[in-house]
Structure 1
Amino acid sequence: MLRLARENPLWGYRRIAGALAALGYRVGASRVWLILKTAGIDPAPRRVEPTWSEFLRAQATGILACDFFHCDTVLFKRLYCLVVMELGTRRVHVLGITEHPSGPWVAQQARNLMIELGNRAEGFRFLIRDRDTKFTTMFDDVFTAAGIGILKTPPRAPRANAFTERWIGGLRRELLDRILIVNARHLRRVLATYETHFNEHRPHRSLGQAAPLRALPDPVEADIKVIRRDRLDGLIHEYTQVA
């Protein structure tokens, strides 16, 4: 019964009961319902629809995800930062920093991203964003003009954009909570350094411990020398090997 349900996601309880009867097992549809419910198998219509996490895994190579985060300086000014992640490779683009994230400014950051992506923009189908009013129609039009659909997350559902939310959380824990930011220029330099570290050095479990822009080297059996480089006054450690 469980095998029939898993291998035939369009079959309902009565259809499964009929298939069992053809095999010589006379079981009522209500009994089938009870057994499948106990096993945690949903009714037929819900079995054929992928979950949000399944959709993201299946479409990751064609999805961009963006979000805003803020940073308060020592002079009590709040700076807003816009970040975009390529879900397939986990590559991050820190697009810009401003005190006043107006609609035209946000749209210009989207145009800059499309220029940076170049021909690779054709490989993306969706952009995930929340319902923040900073994301105006001008912002959406930049992506829709390139054939990229806009997927808005439900209200108060940060898990729907979990990849960028997790990146922002890691950025705060690893860097912003450990350093005092003076002004926008200082924050740009700090974020540029962290972006390079994240894309070229930081290992990712989803990539088999590789970095978005750096594949893992071949296994080394001989002795090697490991060199550590500290960045941002030792807040970031990067390791390289020398034969």
Structure 2
Amino acid sequence: MKPSRFTEEQIIGILREQEAGAKTADVCRKHGISSATFYKWKAKYGGLDVSDAKRLKSLEDENAKLKRLLAEAMLDNAMLKDIGSKKMVTPAARREAVAHLRVAYEVSERRACSAVGADRTSVRYRSIRPDDAAVRARLRELAAIRRRFGYRRLHILLRREGIVMNHKKLRRLYREERLQVRRRGGRKRALGTRAPMTLPQGPNQRWSLDFLSDAFSDGRRFRILAIVDDFTRECLALVPDTSLSGLRVARELDALIAARGRPAMIVSDNGTELTGMAILRWSQETRVEWHYIAPGKPQQNAFIESFNGRLRDELLNETLFASLTHVREALAIWRDDYNTIRPHSALGNLPPLTYAELSAPDMQRDGTLRYTESSAPRPVAPPSQQGSNEARTLLIAG
């Protein structure tokens, strides 16, 4: 609306001239206004003095301001209801909300930011960060192959390929690509005091042995004999079959000793196959000490239990086996990958075979360890409780 060139005081003065006896036409001609304007003023300001006119003007201004504030509040309420169901936690979500309000309600950027509670600098920000498309693509490929690997092991594999990147940036890319490994729930375990396990100081000092169980796709069950070197963490053997007796375990150990050398000790649980006469006879004949853990204490055989968890998580739970041949082929491929490629966090992210090469200078060219009988230290026998420990006394006693 075009503002009037006369103030309220001037308008009331013009009306007073007409009330004093001057003709309306003369008053309009004198002040350069039309008769319609004069009568409009008379309807609005007739009978008022200057103070009343000022009060009326202030009331009109305040009323207009209240109407404007009410309209803005109603508009803000409508905009908030429109975006009320959307979460605006990240700056990207706030940018989308501001853009939606500007288009839907035809408001300014400042108004939309005020309604959303966003900073205009954050809304106007445009990222200059590179998209790292090649790294993302390779990360997705490795994650598709290594489905149970987290970002730390994937970082090691990328670094081996020459892709150098900060681990925090790789974790961000890993999270943005939604490659997080879903944790599988485990059963609750009792808590209590646990004695630390004595670590071996070299290869072939102690082997761990255990059985795993799984099923074919048709429901038939099979078992896997797993043998691990506790020092190098190397998987020495994975033997699958529908049944594994004590005699079969002894034969597999004989074949392994022929290729690798005799261990000083073997640790296992109290399974029926491992406590039978076949294993006891084999232990006496080969002079290999066999240690049984306490019943119900798998943590005393922690190395093989940890290995079993990795094997089940990365292979058994990810594969449907059709036959025993399929199982043997898959286990052979996984064992080779585990020993030569897969990084092991307890070994400084080195594969077990690489760690064994650094720990044993007499490594053969075919990748197998060569140890003489004397290279594996004999276990230290505890002192006798009664009598003498001298060799001569023991010989006489028989």
TM-score normalised to the size of structure 1? 0.61
RMSD between superposed Cα atoms in Å: 2.2
Q: Which of 256, 265, 270 is 1:126 aligned to?
A: 265
Listed as ranges, the matches of 1:153-232 within 5 Å are: 153-214=293-354
Give the structure with the larger helix fraction. 2
Do residues 141 (structure 1) and 281 (structure 2) align?
Answer: yes
Check 1:201–1:188 CA distance in 2 against 1; reply closer, same or farther (3 A cut). Answer: same
In the other structure, the counterpart of 1:75 is: 218
Task: Decide whether aligned partners of structure 1 residues 143 and 196 sit closer, same or farther in structure 2, where only a CA change above 3 A counts.
Answer: farther
Q: What is the CA deviation profile of residues 113-132 of structure 1, one whole-angstrom value per residue up to 9, with x for unaligned ones?
A: 22221xx32xx311100000
Q: Show the 5 A alignment for 1:34-113.
A: 52-57=195-200, 62-113=205-256
Q: Which stretch of the first structure deviates more once superposed, 206-215 or 55-64?
A: 55-64
Q: Report deviation, 1:191.
A: 0.5
Cα distance change on mapping 1:154 and 1:125 into 2, 3 Å = same
**Runs ≥4 in structure 1, deviation > 6 angstroms?**
none
- Separation in structure 2 between the aligned mates of residue 105 and residue 131 of structure 1, nearest angstrom: 17
What displacement does 1:109 show?
1.6
Unaligned runs of 5+ in 1: 1-50, 217-243
Tell which has more relative contact order, 1 or 2 (C-alpha 8 A, sep 6+).
1
Residue 197 of structure 1 aligns with an amino acid whose one-letter code is: D
Matching residue of 1:152:
292
How many angstroms apart in 1 are the aligned matches of 2:324 and 2:204? 32
Say which SS state the counterpart of residue 352 (structure 2) adopts: coil
Task: Look at both structures and tell me which one has the larger radius of gyration over its CA atoms.
Answer: 2
C-alpha separation in 2, matches of 1:63 and 1:215: 16
Question: 1:151 & 1:110 partners in 2: Cα distance?
Answer: 15
TM norm structure 2: 0.38
Give yes or no for contact 1:72–1:78 (8 Å, CA) kept in 2: yes
Q: In structure 2, how many angstroms separate the alpha carbons of the residues matched to 1:68 and 1:78?
A: 13
Instruction: Return closer, same or farther for 1:144/1:203 CA change in 2, 3 Å cut-off.
Output: farther
Count matched residues: 162
Unaligned 5+ runs, structure 2 = 1-193, 357-398
For 2:230 and 2:266, the matched residues in 1 are separated by 10
**Alpha-carbon distance between aligned partners in 2 of 1:94 and 1:85, rounded to the nearest angstrom:** 7
* Post-superposition offset of 1:99: 0.9
**Which residue identity is paired with 1:112?**
A
CA distance in 2 between partners of 1:127 and 1:102 (Å): 17
The structure-2 alpha-carbon separation of the partners of 1:112 and 1:52, relative to structure 1 and needing over 3 Å to count, comes to farther
- CA distance in 1 between counterparts of 2:236 and 2:355 reads 19
- The answer to whether the 8 A contact 1:94-1:192 is kept is no
